[in-house]
């Protein structure tokens, strides 16, 4: 956890009509166990969440990351792995959000599961999609996330309906742990009722064991 001293009142006054940009730095040697594509973005979002908890609206905060190999830790702590700038609100912000919405839903976050399991580790592409979803929800006050769990046809239909919901709730918990508010997320299950591939093959079953994350606005 980064130890920082922040003048919250001063920040609030300065960004009323502007945007605070938080840039998190990272090195290529660090092991990334976060939900984000790199630890720089994870650090920036950790600071953002702290600011939001203090009353600064997320609609006025942008997060990004930058590779910075020259960071030197002291006692296993990086000092100064963040940078901040304040800019005017982009005149194309609404267009950019609409484009992000279309991008996410055209190629949604899909998680695949092993038989009878409801947990998974995300790859780099999936982590980037989590970052995109988080960025959209930050900026759209009435934006929400829908998570739908699916299974193959192995076992009883009733059991699979519960398993699909367990998978959806795993994804929900993952998003909540990484800064998306629980009241922005709805979960549901289709069980084995909406296969996208042939359950007669192992390859088809693997494709059907999935959870799909999309946006609403």
Asked if pLDDT for residue 200 goes beyond 90, the answer is yes
- Choose the weakest-confidence range: 67-71, 89-93, 158-162: 89-93
**Residue with token string 């190999």:** 69
CATH architecture of 8-89: 2-Layer Sandwich (3.30)
Q: What is the mean pLDDT of residues 171-182?
A: 86
Round to whole Å and give the CA distance between 189 and 165: 5
Round to whole Å and give the CA distance between 141 and 50: 18
Q: What is the mean pLDDT of residues 190-207?
A: 96
pLDDT number for residue 73: 72
Could you tell me the pLDDT band of residue 74, with boundaries at 50, 70 and 90? Answer: confident
Angle in degrees, 0-180, between the axes of helices 157-177 and 124-139, rounded to the nearest 10: 70
Q: Which of the pair, 146 or 69, is modelled with greater confidence?
A: 146
Q: What is the mean pLDDT of the chain?
A: 86
What are the structure tokens assigned to 61, written together? 């905060």
Q: What are the pLDDT digits (tens) for 157-176? A: 999 999 999 999 999 988 88
Domain boundaries, the chain: 8-89, 95-216
Could you tell me the pLDDT band of residue 52, with boundaries at 50, 70 and 90? Answer: confident
pLDDT number for residue 59: 86
CATH number given to 95-216: 3.30.1330.60
In sequence order, what DSSP letters do the residues of 139-177 get, joined into one string? H-TT-EEEEEEE--SSS-HHHHHHHHHHHHHHHHHHHHH
Is the fold of 8-89 the same as that of 95-216? Answer: yes
H or E segment and range at residue 73: strand 73-74
Asked if pLDDT for residue 2 goes beyond 50, the answer is no
Q: What is the mean pLDDT of residues 110-117?
A: 81
How far, rounded to the nearest angstrom, does the alpha carbon of residue 122 sit from its chain's CA centroid? 11
**Which residue, 82, 84, 86, is CA-closest to 25?**
82
Asked if pLDDT for residue 201 goes beyond 60, the answer is yes
Round to whole Å and give the CA distance between 159 and 189: 11
Could you tell me the pLDDT band of residue 87, with boundaries at 50, 70 and 90? Answer: confident
């Amino acid at each position: 956890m980064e130890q920082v001293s922040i003048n919250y009142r001063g920040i609030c006054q300065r960004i009323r009509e502007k945007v605070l940009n938080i840039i998190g730095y990272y090195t290529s040697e660090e092991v990334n166990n976060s939900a984000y594509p790199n630890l720089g973005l994870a650090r920036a979002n950790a600071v953002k969440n702290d600011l939001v908890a203090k009353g600064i609206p997320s609609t006025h905060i942008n997060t990004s990351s930058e590779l910075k190999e020259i960071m030197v830790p002291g006692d296993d702590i990086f000092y100064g792995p963040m940078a901040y700038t304040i800019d005017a609100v982009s005149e194309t912000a609404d267009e950019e959000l609409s484009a992000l919405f279309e991008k996410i839903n055209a190629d949604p976050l899909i998680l695949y599961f092993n038989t009878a399991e409801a947990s998974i580790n995300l790859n780099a592409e999936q982590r980037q999609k989590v970052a995109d979803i988080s960025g959209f929800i930050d900026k759209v006050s009435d934006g929400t996330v829908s998570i739908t769990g699916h299974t193959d046809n192995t076992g009883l239909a009733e059991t699979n309906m519960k398993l699909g919901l367990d998978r959806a709730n795993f994804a929900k918990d993952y998003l909540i742990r990484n800064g998306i508010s629980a009241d922005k997320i709805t979960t549901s299950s289709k069980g084995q009722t909406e296969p996208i591939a042939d359950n007669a093959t192992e390859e088809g079953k693997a494709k059907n064991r999935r959870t799909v994350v999309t946006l609403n606005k």
